[in-house]
Structure formats: C-alpha cells, structure tokens
Amino acid sequence: MIKKYKISFLFTFLVLFFHAQTKIKETGNDDRKTKQKDLQEIKITGKPRKSLSKKDNPAYKVLQGIWKNKERNNIQSLDYYDYRRYTSVNIGINNVDSVIAKKILGNDYAALRKASIEGDQSEEKITIPIFLNELSERIYGHKNEEKTDIEGERKSGLNEVGRGFGVERFSQTFTTINPYEDDIQILDKTFVSPLSTRGYGVYNYILKDSITEADQKIYIIHFFPKNPEDLLFQGHFNVADKAFAITEILMKTTKQINMSLVRDLSIEKYYSETNDGIYLPEKSIYEGNFTLISKRKDEMGAYVKKEVNEYEYQLNQPKEASFYKEKTVQTRSGQFEKNDEYWQKSLGLSKNTQETLQLIRGLKSNARVHGITSVVNVFSTGYLDLFKGLQAGSIWNTVSNNDVEGLRLRMGFRTFITEDDKFRLTFYGAYGNRDHKFKYGAEGIYLLSSQPRIVIGASHLRDNLQLSGKLLDPNDLLPRNKTSFITRGKNYDLSNVMRNTVNVDLAFDKNLHLNISGVHQQIQSADPHAFSMDYVLPNTSEIHNKLTDFTTNVTLIYTPGRNVYGYGAEQKFGKLPYTTILLKYTKGYKGILNSDFDYNKLQFSVEKNFFLSNFGRLTASVEMGKTFNTVPISLLSPVPANQSISVVSKTFSLLNYYNFVTDSYIMGNLEHHFNGFILNRIPLLNKLKLRSFIFYRFAYGSISQNNIDINRSSIIYAAPNKMYSEYGFGIENIGYGNLRPFRVDFIWRSKIGEVFGITPPNFGVRFGFSPGF
C-alpha cells in the first residue's frame, strides 16, 4: 500500500510542476503595527433561490455607488504617490499523506509535522514547502507613470528546484489583480469581477448586513455565480457608505468551475483609509491549489501562495519629472540579494514567511527530497543532468518519423550551470534507421552586454528540414521544428540543409528586439529519387539540383505585455497570451560565398488575443510576405501544411506539403475558445466539463511566371489565387478527473481541384495535446 501511495505521490508532484505555466493576478499588504487584520475564511452564505430585479435589490444601489466612485479609489489616478511593497511567493505540496511523508523526509518529518498542526491541518496530511521568493520594493507614481525600485530580494528552494525555469516560472506568472476592473485574468482565463459593471448579468448579489465602524456604515454584500461552472467567483465584499469604497473583498472559485488542474483559486484583499478619505490596498493574499484527479479538499496536490503587503504610503509629495523616468534595471539573478538581518527589519515580513523559510532550509540536506526535486527538474525543463555544467535533452524531441529517414532518434545536450548563464552551447545529433545517415546541429549564444542587452550567437546545421511547414521564422539559428511520430500520407518532401549562421540580438526594451543575422546555406533534396528540387538559372538551360544561398536578415520583434524571465543569455517567456508583431527583411546576394541568387523578401505578421470577458478568448493572426525576384522552390513561400494527425498552429491540416507555392501571400487564422460558455449551459453535458471552440483560417497568394519558368522540380506550382480556407469546431478539456489536456478538431475546407492528380480530402479530424487550465 505504501508503494502504491508513493508512486501516486511522485506522479502527482511531477506532472503538476511540468504543467505549471500558471497565471493568477495580485496586489496587497501584510500585518501592520497600527492595524492588524487576521486572515479570514471565505464563508459562503445561502445562495438566493431567484434573482432580484435591479429595482428590488438594495445591493444594486450600492454597486452603482462603487462604479461611480471607483476611479477616486484608484491609486494611479493620484497626482503623486509612493509606498513600500513586500511580496512573498510560497510554492509547495499540500495534503501529503503522513505515511508517505515519513518515508521521504525521515528525521525532518517531525518539524514539518509540527508546522502542519500549527497550521490547523488534518493529522493525516502535511504540507511540504519547496520554494520561497521574497521581494522588497519602493514604488513611486505620478498619475499613469510608475517607477519601481527593487530594494531587496531573497530566494530559497529545496536543492536546485527552479533550475531551468521550472518552479521559477511558476512563481513569476503572478501579476496584479484589481477587483475594480471589469475582467480579471487568472492563468490563461478571464473571470468577470464581482465589481464589474456587467456583474449583475452573471452574479446574484445579496445585501447581507451593515455595521457601523468609525462613524460610517459598512455594507456587507455576498455574491454568487448564476452558473457555478462559469469563470466566476463566490464570496463577499465590504463597502464604506460615504466613499463607496471597498474595505475588503474575499472571493473564491466554486467546486464546479470548469477548469482543469485547478482545485480552487482564492483572492483576499484589504484596504485602509488615508487622511484624504481614499482607500488604498494594504494586504492581498492569493492562493492557487492544483490537483490531477479531483477537486476534493483532501487530495494531494501543489499550491502557490502569494502575499503582498503595501505600507508607508506618502501622497502628494512630488519629485522632479526626470526622477520618474529613471529606471532601475535588473540584469542578473541575485543582483538585489539581502541577508537575513535586512529581512528581519522589514515591516512587511510575516511570521508565516519566517517559518516557511526555516522549513525549506532544514530540508535542503535531505537526500530523498533532493532526488525528487531533481526528477521534477527533468519533467519541468525536459533536460537531465549528466554532470555539473552539462545536461541531456530535450526528452520531448527524442523520437519522430518520416518517409526519408524512417524512425528518427534524436539526442541533444546543452551546457547549464544556472538559468542565468551568460554563455549557452547547445548540440544535438539525429539518426534515421532508413537512410542510415547522421545529422547534427550546434548553437552557441553569449550575453555580450546586459545594459543594453546584446546577445551574439552562431550556429552550424547539417540536417533534413521540412521547408513547407512554416513561413515567417524570427529565429535564424537552429530551427525549433516540432517533431511528429504519427503522420498521414507520404512525406518525402524533405530538404537536406547545410547552414551556418551568425546572429546579433539587440533589446531596446525587454519586449522590443532588433535581430540581425547572416546566413550561408546549401539546400538540396533529402531524397532526389522521390522529391526533386531542380531548377535552371534564368535565361539558361542547365539544370541544377543544389542551391547555395547567402543572405542578411533584419527582424524587428515587438511583444507588448509579454512576461520575460531570466537575466542570462537565454531568457524564457510567460504563458500569458500577448501580442506579437514581426517585421523581417531578407536580402540575398549572388556571388558572395558562391551564392546563386540576388533577391529581396519582406514579411510581416501580427498576432493578438482578445479577451471577451465570460464569452471567452479570440486569437487572431495575419501574416503576409513577398519575394521580389526570381528564385527556385527552396527560397519561395509554400503555404504551410501539416501532415501529422496532431494540431499544429498556423498550418493547414488538409493540405499536403507543397500543395500551394507562392512568391506573394497573405494568410490568417481566427480561433475562438468559449471557455465553457456554451457547454456549461447544456444539462448533463455540463457534467463532462468539456469546452468548445471554433476556428477559421485562410490563405491567398500568387506565383509569378518567371518563377514558374525556372522550375524543374517535381512540384507543379499552384498558388491559392482563389482563397483557400479551412474551418470547423472542436472540443477541448478532454481527459479524466482534473487532468484534461486533450482536444479534438473537426475540420472542413473550401473547394479546390486536383493537386498533382489527387483531390485533397474535404474533411479531417485532428488531435491536440495542450496541458493547460
């Protein structure tokens, strides 16, 4: 029995952290000498049997007062302000069976057992903290302009948890929650705030009570979701009658909420009144609990708890305008590390944080815990430690299959000491059991400067690539192609590529990059008997089967709202959807390094997410490009196809590779996820926790006669000069219990004629695996 529980424990722990690309939202402040508030349990009063009209519900009049005065209680509307903020993020495992904990922790079990009892937990269950991050900041604001100075930072984790952006990314994905906003983004979902002007359509409100406090009346309003499966909260908030300001709000997700991996999310925020009668944030507590099998309170899972204390407010004390423009930039991990003596003097530090810190430090030398956290790093990063400074991976790209190579086995390595290494070397080798050829690639990047951030890189590649699977690629170093094991149809259309690249990436801002590269490559068919890439030079008749190409590439990348982590040569990005704008210019030079063609190519793309409140999220993208000169097939722009049975974004699932070839193109993609808005309202079906989505994608393009004239390949050029489109719907959140990572797409296409004598299918079913919430 113990062995069974231990296996269950390891599986739960590993998978939770591998899929933990979360996002909750936050703000807040802690215990104060002048005014202490104990954490409150969110107690839910009885839900009303029917909704009251706005006219008959006294709570609605209070809501109107909140909406009218919410800007007054927004700190960013003030002319000048500054305050201190202390933030702690605690990550760990909860509801661990005591029998399992004894086996893992050994002599360290007693200390954790005592802490769990003091935390008022069940005697059979304990909590194991594994990571703690603390941050002390000073914030200065002038209307909508804000400056943040980091004054201190402290990180504590069990052994090497957090290496490779595993737990570190989990903690970094928390952002600020303002309940006055109509919508609240948590994880990758949008919740309707109980204070939203649209709230009355999705919540039931009850004016439960009123109390007198400091010569003013405080209204207590409870709220409940009309549909408990929707992305809504239940809880209560207190409102001061004169200012119609929130003094505290406590909200929590329901047991029935249609989210996977999530047991519950809770938010507590407390506000204090200033001498000017304005209510500003004082303390915020955010907690997320995550499980695999069910949402039961006693099931073992992972938790993230964030506390934010804001104190020492100073209002209307202006500074020079230049002061607010000066930014303190963090360029390396540990830059603001402070010792324990500094933190003991912090007014924001809580007793719970100190206890958690001591527990983590006590467990660092535990050999069994070290083993578990090492395995967690493998699943969260995809890399396995070989010895100090070298890792093998990624394990997720080990096996694939195609008709040229057969079964393709790939093994990769990278140098790694910490996530903030200034130098990173990556190497991989691959071998196919059908062509019996060895392929490889190597890439090195180096952080030349932190401010401004400049990263230089170089790569060398000899491998088979599918050039008809992607158009605009901002990365000119090693390609990040996804591999597939199960495919449809034949895939002989691979190109054998020898490529050398040098690259400079300059960051004007963390979300504004200029990338400049030089690329020299030789391209030919990976299997000339099945797939020809032959061409003739303009005004000649000599057939060539190999292309030599030298280009320079300039790419501008703008990603407003993207979360960026890491201070070394390699950075990681949060999973919260953000806008991406790309502009790339490619110039080919004939004669340089035996290059065969002069040409110019311009490409542009934009992708944006629209959060449509409780109606879900729409992702829209458009990409366009043009090649201005005569070039062969390897330098043209095939409409990206997908011959796997899995879902690949920005590709066409019912096309085969090279069905369409263009030199001028525009394509777009629309995909709307309803987040349960439709299926939550269908009786019986809502019990399955399924979610629906719809999609539409199109491609339109042309091919010039000059490019057709030099073509001698096995591909007969056809361009989508009558717009080609694919559309359909899908079901996602498919799985078991609280783990639901699968989706199924049902796809139709517009009518097209025969391509190479074959009529493509009119309908298809594709499958996706996308761990998320």
Select from 1.10.580.10, 3.40.50.300, 2.40.160.50, 1.20.1740.10 the CATH code of 381-769.
2.40.160.50
Q: How far is CA 639 from CA 672, 697, 698, in A?
A: 22, 12, 10
Enumerate the domain spans of the chain: 2-35+44-358, 381-769
Confidence of residue 150 (pLDDT cuts 50, 70, 90): very high
What's the pLDDT tens digit per position in 713-738? 999 999 999 999 999 999 999 999 99
* Cβ burial, residue 537 (10 Å; 0-12/13-18/19+): middle
Of residues 395 and 596, which shows the higher confidence score?
A: 596
Tokens of 771: 């761990």
The pLDDT of residue 577 is 80
Of residues 62 and 128, which shows the higher confidence score?
A: 62
Highest mean predicted confidence (pLDDT) among 42-51, 66-75, 568-577, 662-671: 662-671
Of residues 645 and 109, which shows the higher confidence score?
A: 645
Highest mean predicted confidence (pLDDT) among 142-151, 465-474, 501-510: 501-510
CA–CA separation, 6 vs 639, rounded Å?
49
CA–CA separation, 53 vs 57, rounded Å?
6
Q: Say whether pLDDT at 20 is over 50.
A: no
The pLDDT of residue 600 is 98
C-alpha dihedral, 135 to 140 to 143 to 146, nearest 10°: -50
DSSP summary character for residue 358: H
List, in sequence order, every residue forming a beta bridge with 661; answer none if it has no partner. Answer: 638
Confidence of residue 18 (pLDDT cuts 50, 70, 90): very low
What's the pLDDT tens digit per position in 264-321? 999 999 999 887 788 999 999 999 999 988 898 888 888 999 999 999 999 988 988 8
Q: Say whether pLDDT at 37 is over 70.
A: no
Lowest-pLDDT range, 116-120, 251-255, 364-368, 508-512? 116-120
- Rounded (to 5) percent helix, strand, coil in the chain: 15, 45, 40
Question: In the predicted model, what is the mean pLDDT of the chain?
Answer: 85
Q: Within 10 Å of residue 287's Cβ, how many Cβ atoms?
A: 17
Confidence of residue 144 (pLDDT cuts 50, 70, 90): confident
How far is C-alpha 727 from the geometric centre of its chain's CA atoms? 26
Over range 602-621, report the average pLDDT. Answer: 94
Q: Say whether pLDDT at 252 is over 50.
A: yes
pLDDT above 70: percentage of residues in the chain: 88
Amino acid at 267: I
Q: Say whether pLDDT at 744 is over 70.
A: yes
Angle at 141 between CA 140 and CA 145, to 5 degrees: 125
Confidence of residue 54 (pLDDT cuts 50, 70, 90): confident
C-alpha dihedral, 284 to 290 to 296 to 297, nearest 10°: -40
Let me know: does 681 contact 641? Beta carbons within 8 Å.
Answer: no
HSE value, Cβ hemisphere, 13 Å, CA-based, for 193? 19
* Cβ burial, residue 41 (10 Å; 0-12/13-18/19+): exposed
Q: Say whether pLDDT at 447 is over 70.
A: yes
Confidence of residue 681 (pLDDT cuts 50, 70, 90): very high
> Buried (b) or exposed (e) across 364-397, using 16+ Cβ within 10 A?
eebeebeebbeebbbbbbbbbbeeeeebbbbeeb
The pLDDT of residue 755 is 62
Confidence of residue 45 (pLDDT cuts 50, 70, 90): low
The pLDDT of residue 27 is 34
CA–CA separation, 584 vs 603, rounded Å?
5
Residue 311, helix vs strand vs coil? strand
Lowest-pLDDT range, 43-52, 182-191, 227-236, 281-290? 43-52
Q: Say whether pLDDT at 129 is over 80.
A: yes
